[in-house]
Each structure stands twice: as structure tokens, then as C-alpha cells.
A and B are shown apart, each in its own frame.
Chain A
Amino acid sequence: MKTCLVVDDSRVIRKVARRILEDLQFECDEAADGASALDKCRLSMPDAILLDWNMPVMNGLDFMQALRSEPSGDQPVVVFCTTENDMGRITEALRAGADEYIMKPFDSEIIQSKFEEVGLIA
């Protein structure tokens, strides 16, 4: 079973995303900001990370840049999932090492489609 870390400061979003991902056969863990996500990754690198951008303590972009410089930090597939839907923001995230990008609001079809694009689901 593949693992996915859901990083979002909204408990509701985490819950919705988790339910969708569990339906897609992912084992999920949650973090409410980038700093605690980084702590979890240092303990165990997940296969995938669904990542919000704007969060307290450490935002998604800063988290990803920190993650990518960790040992094995290049392994997780990072899928941004954010209300930021500006072309400039999207390219910024991709340049910084994101693999896919979801613009909120999302539903199960979008998550499935995007996870298929990066090969997390066959």
C-alpha cells in the first residue's frame, strides 16, 4: 500500500482529501503545517505528499524546498493542492520541485486524474 501525507491547515480539507485517498488505496497521515510535515518526513518518507500552499508556521513552498534538500527528499511525489490558481504561482511551484498541481476546489475525479498523471495510480 502506498503512503500519502496530507498537509493542510484546514482539518476539513484534510478529512475530505484523506477519504478520497483512502478510497484510492493510500495509507494516509496528516500534518497541519510545513514544519510538522517536515518532522514526519524525517521519520519516514511517504510515497506522495498532497500539499497546501498557505499555512501558518511554514508554508507549502518553503516546506517543499526544505524537503528536497533532505536525504531521500527527492523521492516523494509532491502534488500541490491550493487555492493559488495563477499561472505564475503554478510555474513557481513546478520550478521549485513540485510534480503536479491541483487548484482548489477539488473532487475525487481531479485527485484521481492528477495522481494518475504522475504514476501514483495505474
Chain B
Amino acid sequence: MMTPEDMKYVAAEAHRIAGLAIRPNQACLVEHRLAPLARAEGFETISAMLGSIRRDADPRLAKAAVESLACRESWFFRDRKPFDSFRQDILPVLARARGTERKIRIWCAGAGNGQEAYSLAMILEEEAERLGDIAVEIVATDFCARAIDRGRAGAFSQFDVQRGLSIQRLIHHFEQSGKDWRISAGIRRRVDFQQHNLLDASAALGMFDMILCRNVISAMTPDARKTVLTRLGRHLADDGYLILGEGETAAGAVDMFRSVRGKRGLYEKAAGDIAQAA
């Protein structure tokens, strides 16, 4: 059992390292997330592991613990609408706007196990004819190293590939690999996975035409949320788009974004073609 002191310590570290907001009533969730790590690291209890982190000021283990807390579950084409929006509205607009550069860059910030990035990559594959020679680069980052490893491997369980994925897409884009289903090499090649903490400097990532940051900031404290949104804004092209998760909003946090009318969760920096058409 974790003590209230343990919880306080975990909440403080989760906030310091990843901007996560952990409430005192989330002890069950925290225990559930930390138990596998404590076992893997050879500790009898979670308290023993936390004690060791504090005593030895072990930054590796502290980070691993917070990573376990930050790992999130997702599924293919989650919430559907953002992906419809990407295919129907955003992609054609960006393809026109980048007609000279012939290059579009997309950032999945907080990409989890890769379902979001791979969903976009499947759409790109399906739209390949319309895109012609325009190169689309997808950078998928997550704070959780295990998520990045899993994303890179591109292997998903039978359960994973039946949530959000039509049977046609499973047949077209996956191959059977033992008990798992592995997304095709062609789709994997489209996504570049990198471990990255959204609170850290990120200049090397460069500029993007679309950023998805879904179901990430809602788990953060207001100050971390503001830091992250400001950072995302700096990486977004002036005519680019930001997509947040269902029920998440950029309002109040920063004034760099304007919501696109009629498209919940979709934001732009400057007035683009989608807003004008709406």
C-alpha cells in the first residue's frame, strides 16, 4: 500500500518531470501503473521503490516511474472526426498551400503506441494518387519510451486491430505475424518515432504544417498545459493546424490559436481556407 506521503511525492515528481496533474484520489490508478515497474525493478512494494528513488536520488528510476504514469491507451482512428477532417479539409488545403515546396510535415505530439500516426499514414497511402509527388513526413513523439518502442515495432494485438479499424484496412495495411498483426513496412516507413518530453526544448523537431496533440494536455496541470501549447504554437506554421482531443481546448491557455468554426478541437494560427469556407 502506498502512504499519503508516497502519493504526494509521486504527484510532485510527475508534475516536475512531465507536467502531469495527479490528484490524491488517484491512488488506485497510480498503484496500478507503478506495480509492474516495481516488480520489474525487483522491489517488494511500490513504497520500497519510491523510498529507493528518494534515498538514492535515482533520476533514471524516477523518470521510468513517471513514464509509467504517462503511458496512455489509444486506438486506431480514435474519435473518427479529426481523421475525416484531415482527409477532407486539411490535407487538400495543405497540399495547395505547399504546392511549391512539395512537402508537408505533421507532428503527433503524445503519440502513444502509434495508432494515431499510423491512422494518418493509412489515409496518406489511400490518398497517394491525389497527393502525387508531395512528400508527407509524420513525426511521432511520446514521453514514454515503451510506447515509442511499441510504435516503432508497429505490432498490434488482435484486440488493438479490431478497435477503430475496418476489416478492409486490416487486410490492406497489415500482415499477420504470429499472434500479432504488424502494420506494413510501407506504412511504418512514413512515421518517424522519437522519444520526447513536451516540456523540454524541441528546436530540433523543426516546423510543422499540422500538429495533433490529443488527450495529452487534459492530464496536465494548467501551467504545464500553457507551456506545452506555447511550444506547439512555436512549431506550427502560420497557416498550419492544431488538433486537440475531444473535450480539450486551447482557449484561455494561450492566445496563439483560433478555433475553426464548426470543427471542434481544430485550431489554426492565422485565418486559413477552412475558416473562410465555413
Contact = CB atoms under 8 A, between A and B. Distances in A.
Interface in B145-195: 158-159, 162-168, 170-171, 175-176
A94 B171 contact: yes
A103 B176 contact: no
B167 A100 contact: yes
Given A86-B176, A87-B176, A110 B162 contact: yes
Interface residues of B, number: 13
Contact of B167 (A101, A106, A109): A101
Nearest to A104: B158
A65 interface: no
B171 A109 contact: no
Interface size class of A (residues with CB under 8 A): 10 to 19
Contacts of B167: 90, 94, 100-101, 114, 117
Contact of A110 (B159, B166, B171): B159
Nearest to B168: A94
Contact of B162 (A86, A87, A91, A106): A106
Nearest to A88: B176
A35 B183 CA distance: 38
Interface in B218-243: none
Contacts of A102: 162
B80 to A, nearest CB: 8
B162 A114 contact: yes
A109 B175 CA distance: 23
A94 B172 CA distance: 13
Contacts of A72: none
Given A113-B163, A113-B164, A87 B158 contact: no
Nearest to A112: B163
Interface in B30-44: none
A71 to B, nearest CB: 27
Nearest to A113: B163
12 contacts: A87-B175, A90-B170, A100-B166, A100-B167, A103-B162, A107-B159, A110-B162, A110-B163, A113-B164, A113-B165, A114-B162, A117-B167
